[in-house]
C-alpha cells in the first residue's frame, strides 16, 4: 500500500540501499528512495536524517566501506535544502540512551529514533529488521514504500 509521507525520517540503511542500488527480496531499494527523494525535491515534504548518518554511511556496522567517490558524492547530496539534518545534542543523546534501554537498541539505532522524534517525523523509514520491530507511540517505523501520487480534482 502506498503512503503519503509528511515528514519522513531516513535511517542509514535506507540511504545505503539507495547509494548501493540494492535489490533485496525483489525490492528495488534505489527505486524506492528515488521516489521519496523526488517528492522531497519537488517541495512536497522535507526528509530528515541525523548528522550521524553522514558518518555511518561511510562504513556501516558489519559492512564494507563505501568507495571514496561514492562517499564524497553522498556527503554533497546531504547539502540539498530538502534534507533536514538533526544534530545530536545532549537532549537527543539522553533520549537515545533511554530508548536504547527501553527497546534494547544499538547505539546508532537509538540515536536515529531519538532524532526522528525530535524532528516530529511521522515515519522513521528503515531496512533494519531490529528497528522495524520497535513500536513507539510517537512515530511509525516502517520499510520505505512508493508514495501515493496526489489526486488532481477537476
Output the DSSP codes for 75-100: HHHTTSTTEEEEP--HHHHHHHHHHH
- Bridge partner residues of 141 (DSSP): 124
- The grid cell for 116 is 526522528
At 110-137, the pLDDT tens digits run: 999 999 999 999 999 999 999 999 999 9
* pTM score: 0.90
For residues 97, 121, 87, 60, the Cα torsion angle rounded to the nearest 10 degrees is 70
User: What is the average pLDDT across 52-73?
Assistant: 86
Architecture of the domain whose range is 8-142:
3-Layer(aba) Sandwich (3.40)
Does the structure show a pLDDT above 50 at 1?
Answer: no
Q: How confident is the model at residue 149 (pLDDT cuts 50, 70, 90)?
A: low
Output the pLDDT for position 37: 95
User: What is the average pLDDT across 102-109?
Assistant: 96
Whether 15 and 21 have beta carbons less than 8 Å apart is answered as no
107-118 helix and 90-103 helix, angle to the nearest 10 degrees: 120
Average pLDDT along the chain: 90
Does the structure show a pLDDT above 70 at 3?
Answer: no
By three-state DSSP, how is residue 38 classified? helix
Amino acid at each position: 500500500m502506498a503512503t503519503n509521507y509528511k515528514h519522513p525520517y531516513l535511517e542509514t540503511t535506507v540511504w545505503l540501499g539507495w547509494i548501493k542500488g540494492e535489490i533485496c527480496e525483489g525490492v528495488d531499494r534505489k527505486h524506492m528512495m528515488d521516489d521519496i527523494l523526488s517528492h522531497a525535491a519537488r517541495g512536497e515534504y522535507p526528509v530528515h536524517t541525523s548528522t550521524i548518518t553522514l558518518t555511518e554511511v561511510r562504513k556501516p556496522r558489519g559492512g564494507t566501506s563505501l568507495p571514496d567517490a561514492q562517499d564524497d558524492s553522498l556527503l554533497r547530496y546531504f547539502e540539498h535544502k530538502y534534507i533536514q539534518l538533526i544534530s545530536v545534542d545532549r537532549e537527543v543523546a539522553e533520549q537515545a540512551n533511554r530508548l536504547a534501554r527501553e527497546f534494547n537498541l544499538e547505539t546508532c539505532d537509538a540515536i536515529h529514533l531519538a532524532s526522528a522524534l525530535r524532528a516530529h517525523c511521522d515515519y522513521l523509514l528503515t531496512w533494519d529488521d531490529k528497528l522495524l520491530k520497535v513500536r513507539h507511540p510517537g512515530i511509525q517505523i516502517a520499510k520505505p514504500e512508493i508514495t501515493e501520487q496526489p489526486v488532481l480534482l477537476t
